[in-house]
Amino acid sequence: MSSFTEQDRLITRRQAIGRVSMLLGGVTLIGGSALLEACSKDQPRATTTTAGTGTFTPDDIAFLDEVADTILPTTQKSPGAKAAQTGAFMALMVTDTYDPKDQQTFRDGMTKLDDASKKANNVGFVQATPQQRLALLEQLDKEAKTYMDQRAAAGAQAQAAEAARPIEQAPGGGGKSGKDTGQLANSAGKGTESEKHLEGDPRQQNAVGAGNANPAAAITADAPPHYFRMMKELAMLGFFTSEIGYTKAMRYQETPARFDPCIPYTKGDKAWAPHA
């Protein structure tokens, strides 16, 4: 019988998610603690029902497999993401851990990615050649980084503005002047406008469209994540926590085993996988 407790499993899942975060530049994965909660439970494989219910069809999963396999292709040393059934993992995590707003962003992103392929290559993403797929995803990766950097900067500015705002006086303390009240009303109006970042907002459509020369324009702190950022991080998380990722792409040694803090390293060696 294994001596590992549920807490041990949670810790190693945190380490796995943290590892993917470092590969993505040290930022927090979309989905946050919900990813950890889902990883600590036994979950069924993504089912195949109508797309409008928030689950994914076999064609959707095949599409995600091709996206993930373009990000993490087969090499001479290890199979690619498709072999690890990463598309089904991505679909399951979106369905089980993303809130409805992020789920919609992800699903809309699948359509946008396919439309971008049709525009650039005259065929959908699945029908495109490996070279065409790679070129498109490299373009989207740059766009997503610019977008997410601008989103983070907008969030930092919003926090700084909130911290600098004078504290409201308690009742009986004199209240606010008409000028202050007007400023608050204007601020509230701006807040309402900034919430128009879902489907139908021209600013958002312009910001995340593939091939846009300046995808970061008019991005606000409450804008949704970029859809390709979601796809990339789920592809990496799914692959590097799979059996293939652990045993083929990385070196894996089942525990318990001895602790050795000074293992010789040769340039090009695979990284060691943590215990799953």
pTM value is 0.62
What is the Cα Rg of the chain in Å? Answer: 22
Contacts of residue 160, Cβ cutoff 8 Å, sequence gap at least 6: none
Contacts of residue 50, Cβ cutoff 8 Å, sequence gap at least 6: 57
Of 24, 3, 21, 25, which Cα lies nearest the Cα of 13?
21
> Torsion-angle region of residue 38: left (phi > 0), alpha (psi -120 to 50) or beta?
alpha
Q: What is the pLDDT along the chain (276 residues), one digit of tens a residue?
A: 444 444 444 435 455 555 555 555 555 566 555 554 544 444 444 444 444 335 899 999 999 999 999 999 998 888 999 999 999 999 999 998 899 999 999 999 999 999 999 999 999 999 999 999 999 999 999 999 999 999 999 989 888 988 888 876 555 555 444 444 344 334 444 444 333 333 444 444 444 444 444 444 468 878 899 999 999 999 999 998 898 888 888 888 776 566 676 778 788 888 777 654
Q: Helices in the chain by DSSP H: which ranges?
A: 6-23, 33-39, 58-71, 86-97, 100-121, 130-164, 178-194, 202-208, 227-240, 243-244
